[in-house]
Amino acid sequence: MKNIIFIAPPAAGKGTQSELLCEKYGYAHISTGDLLRSVNPTSELGIEINNLMKTGSLVSDEIIFKLIEERLQKEDIKNGFILDGFPRTIKQAIAYEELVNKLNLKDYVVIYIKISENEAMNRALGRLGCTSCGKIYHKVNSKPKTEGICDVCGGSLTSRDDDNEELFKKRFVTYLEKTQPLIDYYKKANKLVEIPSNDDKYITNEMIEKVIIDD
Ligand code: ADP
């Protein structure tokens, strides 16, 4: 099976779709946002990361490349992996191409989740995540059975610091400037599959199986 890169505006549901596909097909889920959030926030690196994330800007390529290269050396990627949040710029895409060659990684397909700014903002402002297992909920569209408590593990649910209106808008501008050019880039490379996002379960088995099976 081919590896998968997800491209989408902030809060489009890359993380949720990645989790579903990981459960179904045994992929490893590599979210650069989660990798960044897991760096100790009191360390020098953690402080630098948080200061950038707080403004809706991208974290430096140097930090991202190091995290990704380390992550791609782990054993669990052998059965395939999903990149959720990387590459986010043309420069990162070129660096990823070099990594594919250097680490002898399998071929990949790029899935672009198309969603309007309003819908993405609605998802960001309603998003809740479990502090223990990471499962994602939505305050209105996909509520937990008991308010504030994760259905799966009983952990407590919180909103991400950057899921407020002001920061969402900044993240969206960053997306338009830096990430959207990747859509044309991967279209030209014949790697892009576009999926319109209408509801939570928009990626069907048929859609995904058609694109991830090796030639
Ligand atoms: P979302 O897709 O909802 O914006 P993520 O968890 O993917 O959320 O990313 C959160 C933040 O982490 C981004 O706003 C950015 O600051 C940083 N980040 C994540 N991935 C990258 C990347 N590949 N390059 C630079 N910064 C990144």
Index of the ligand 1 atom closest to the CA of residue 52: 16
Q: Is 29 in the pocket of ligand 1 (CB under 6 A)?
A: no
pLDDT tens string 49-104: 999 998 989 999 999 999 999 999 999 999 999 999 999 999 999 999 999 999 99
**3-state secondary structure string, the chain?**
CCEEEEECCCCCCHHHHHHHHHHHHCCEEEEHHHHHHCCCCCCHHHHHHHHHHCCCCCCCHHHHHHHHHHHCCCHHHCCCEEEECCCCCHHHHHHHHHHHHHCCCCCEEEEEEECCHHHHHHHHHHEEEECCCCCEEECCCECCCCCCECCCCCCEEECCCCCCHHHHHHHHHHHHHHHCHHHHHHHHCCCEEEEECCCCCCCCHHHHHHHHCCC
- Asked if residue 85 has its Cβ within 6 Å of ligand 1, the reply is yes
Tell me which of 53, 68, 71 to substitute to probe ligand 1's pocket, judged by most ligand atoms within 8 Å of the beta carbon.
Answer: 53
Distance 215 CA to ligand 1 centre (A): 31
Residue-wise pLDDT for 115-150, tens only, equals 889 989 999 999 999 999 989 999 998 899 999 999
